[in-house]
Amino acid sequence: MPCELPDNLQILWKEAGMNPSTLSLDQVRNETKRLQARRRRGQVVLGACMLLFAASYGFSYFLFPDTLARVGGALTVIVCGYWLFHSIMERAPAAPHPGETDGLSFYRAELEHTRDIHRWLSWRWLLLLGPFILFDVGVGQIYAKVWPLIVLFVCFDCALLLAVFAIWLPVKNFRLARKYQELIDALDAASGRGKVHREHQAPLA
């Protein structure tokens, strides 16, 4: 391709990489091991947090005599279990290999993955709303006689839960999912390629 860039932009561009920072093979291997260890650690911490969260609500089953609080606690544990099961069993689809996949397919796959995350989250937050509210109301009933002011706190907390779990999070995720779908549609329209499946990709040259 003939160089028809405005003057010496290309020379300027090439100068930008005059002092490349590279990694030695040992550094690459060590860094890879460190990243894998960090990923495993992150998964363990996430699992532990969810278990602790579920355990605290499970414990409330024995702590509070109120039926609503017990049902709320038990349902919270079930929903946590569902989220944990989903994150373990329904793993995210394997990302396309960066070397074997062209930029367009890879970009589209990344957009689809992000859209699917937001789609998944757009209504799953609602699952937590019912258990939380039941638990709140149950706890409120237990302490209402000794501390009447707790009713106000429960009302405020329920309103907050409704605003966050029924409106803000679902709407935000739904909007984001729709926006990512629009980006995918725009990408398809611009590339004139439509949906690209990995197995249907054109063979490498």
7 binds other proteins (CB under 8 A): yes
Q: Which residues contact 92 (CB under 8 A, 6 or more apart)?
A: 113
100 lies in the binding site for other proteins (CB under 8 A): yes
- 90 binds other proteins per the rule CB under 8 A: no
Site track for other proteins across 144-183, x = CB under 8 A: ----------------------------x---x--xx--x
In whole angstroms, how close is the CB of 80 to other proteins at the nearest point? 23
3-class SS string, the chain? CCCCCCCCHHHHHHHCCCCCCCCCHHHHHHHHHHHHHHHHHHHHHHHHHHHHHHHHHHHHHHHCCCHHHHHHHHHHHHHHHHHHHHHHHCCCCCCCCCCCCCHHHHHHHHHHHHHHHHHHHHHHHHHHHHHHHHHHHHHHHHHCCCCCCHHHHHHHHHHHHHHHHHHHHHHHHHHHHHHHHHHHHHHHHHHCCCCCCHHHCCCCC
Residues 42-81 that bind other proteins (CB under 8 A): none
Does position 102 interact with other proteins (CB under 8 A)? The reply is yes
How near is the Cβ of 205 to other proteins at its closest, in Å? 5
38 contributes a contact to other proteins by CB under 8 A: no
Q: Please, what is the minimum distance in Å from the beta carbon of residue 60 to other proteins?
A: 31
Q: Looking at 45-53, 107-115, 125-133, 144-152, which segment touches other proteins (CB under 8 A)?
A: 107-115
Binding site for other proteins (CB under 8 A): 1, 3-23, 25, 28-29, 31-32, 35, 95-107, 110-111, 114, 117, 172, 176, 179-180, 183, 187, 190-193, 196, 201-205
